[in-house]
Amino acid sequence: MISTRNDWREERAVLLAIACALIGLCSGGVLAADEGPHICGKTTGQLLKACRLEARDDYRVGTAICLNLSDGRVAKACMRATRKARSEALAECRDVREARDEVCAELGPGPYDPVIDPANFVSEITNPYAPFRPGTWWEYRKQGEEGLERIRVEVLKKRREILGVGVTTIRDRVWLDGVLIEDTIDWLAEDRAGNVWYFGEISKNFERGLLASLDGSWEAGKDGAKRASGSRWHRR
């Protein structure tokens, strides 16, 4: 199925932001809105600071690289690109903070630490808002300033277990003018109530066709990521 929808990356960014909002830094059960300190808000504040520090750190490293270029014109172009990258990174920090604020409003101020019972999950995702049946795929195209962007999302037949839960594997790849720039594997599962849980991802980022980083990769239960931390699509 081919679609002209161009908002997949925006939707996915919000999904990742929500997942990040639920990562570590706290433990215990979810408290009611009128109980305990506002841990969720404090977590949001700490992660916002970390995001901004990372953006500024990358800017300083980029500046050092640009200063070391002997060609003046190339150095100026390098600095323009570095400043643009910093602006985009700080803007993303703000967007992620807003997404986390929405999560806090939904979940309440207490720590997020759900108990995951593998017996409470089903083998396939049938939620109408997230119809991730093995073998299905979607393709999105967007003409942007940098060129034609194509995104292909596939639900793979391959499954694995995370925290004892069998998860569905989703692969989404992004090309810019025919060159692969991102190749991501996402893991999701549906519980018996029809909620879809996000269990993590492996995100491969490419530059000029070569693997550049695994930034954004995480897995529930590892390095402070909350059990099945992430987004849930609710039946309403």
pLDDT per position as a tens digit, 14-57: 455 454 444 433 333 344 444 556 898 999 999 999 999 999 99
**Percent of the chain, pLDDT > 90?**
59
pLDDT for the residue 115: 82
Mean confidence (pLDDT) of the chain: 82
Please give the pLDDT value at position 224: 56
Q: What is the reported pLDDT for 103? A: 86
Integer Cα distance of 96 and 126 in angstroms = 28
198-212 tens-digit pLDDT:
999 999 999 988 999
C-alpha span between 166 and 153 (Å, rounded)? 20
Whether residue 233 is predicted with pLDDT greater than 80 in this model: the reply is: no
Q: What is the DSSP letter of 1?
A: -
Q: Is the pLDDT at 6 greater than 80, yes or no?
A: no
Instruction: State the pLDDT at residue 129.
Output: 84
Confidence check: pLDDT of 74 > 90: yes
Q: How far apart are CA 198 and CA 193, in angstroms?
A: 15
- CA–CA distance, 47 with 224 (Å, rounded to integer): 13
pLDDT band at 130 (very low <50, low <70, confident <90, very high): confident
Question: Among candidates 165, 185, 155, 158, which has minimal Cα distance to 228?
Answer: 165
pLDDT for the residue 111: 83
Model confidence at 234, in pLDDT bands (50, 70, 90)?
very low
Mean pLDDT, residues 79-107 taken together: 93
What is the 8-class DSSP label of residue 97?
A: H
Judged against a pLDDT cut of 90, whether residue 61 lies above it is answered with: yes
